[in-house]
Amino acid sequence: MIVAGKLEKASYKLRPGDEINLSLPAAEASDLVAEQIPLNIVYEDADVIVVDKAAGLVVHPAPGHARGTLVNALLGYDPGLTMNGTNRPGIVHRLDKDTSGLLVVARNDHARESLVAQMQARTMHKEYLALVQGRLKHAQGIIDGPIGRDPRERKRMAVVNSGREARTHYETIAYYSRYTYVRVRLETGRTHQIRVHFAHLNHPVVGDAIYGNQEWRKDPPVASLSRQFLHAHKLGFNLPSGDYREFVSPLPPALQQVLDRLDANGQRS
């Protein structure tokens, strides 16, 4: 650190009036590849990008998904994205591959710090729409169960005593003969939280290949579903500027068609 033209030790204590000269290193290159993948951008400014993610798109590169992810698409959209001195988009929360809907990406360190602070304070509003199997006993409620690695199958998550606190709020929108259509609000953001919590109640999300079952495939109105019925419908947060913004994504056509077929078959009760 150079203070008033003189190199000082790291232990030097700054005094009022000190003039500091800093040299910031250029952003380090990463092994991430920018790709021209279509994105549905619903909002952007100098600090954040709000994306309406399609089902089937993996958010971050991982073993088996090195290319073709949301991160690759973001770098193709804005090659100038930097985070912590590297060319990496600021992914502060994720959606599962087969979950569609809204997520926010930070464009710089300041924005990331603001968004992470809101998530930690649980002031970011995240609301989902889901169709779960069976008829929920209570029209609304809170699922409160710690989530951690499933001790029997480490690639899965489960409600376990040693897990991290997880709370999911839900309210019923409609009952069908074999399903319940619900609005879900996350108080915490654990991996696969909604899917794990409803499976724990023995009401798995329809179409969930990991935590669900295949009973729904025997029901013609939903049998053609090729993804899980889970959609990040609403997202609200404070922009780094301080203004609160809320974004809404309508139910994708493939999911709306399932509800329409259920209604047409007289299954709403």
- Which residues participate in catalysis according to the annotation? 96
Q: What element of type H or E holds 114? A: helix 109-120
* 152's tokens: 């029997």
Q: Report the Cα–Cα distance between both ends of the chain, in Å, rounded.
A: 70
* 70's tokens: 């949301």
Residues with Cβ within 8 Å of 165's Cβ and at least 6 positions away in sequence, in order, are: 146, 188
Positive or negative torsion for Cα 184, 251, 209, 164:
negative
Q: Give dist(CA 107, CA 125) in Å, integer.
A: 20
- The amino acid present at 164, given as its one-letter code, is R
Q: Which regions of the chain does DSSP assign to beta strands (E)? A: 2-3, 6-7, 20-21, 41-44, 48-53, 90-91, 100-106, 125-133, 140-144, 147-150, 153-159, 167-175, 179-186, 230-238, 244-248
Q: Is 38 exposed, middle or buried (0-12, 13-18, 19+ CB in 10 A)?
A: exposed
Positive or negative torsion for Cα 110, 116, 117, 122:
positive
Contact, 106 vs 90, CB < 8 A? yes
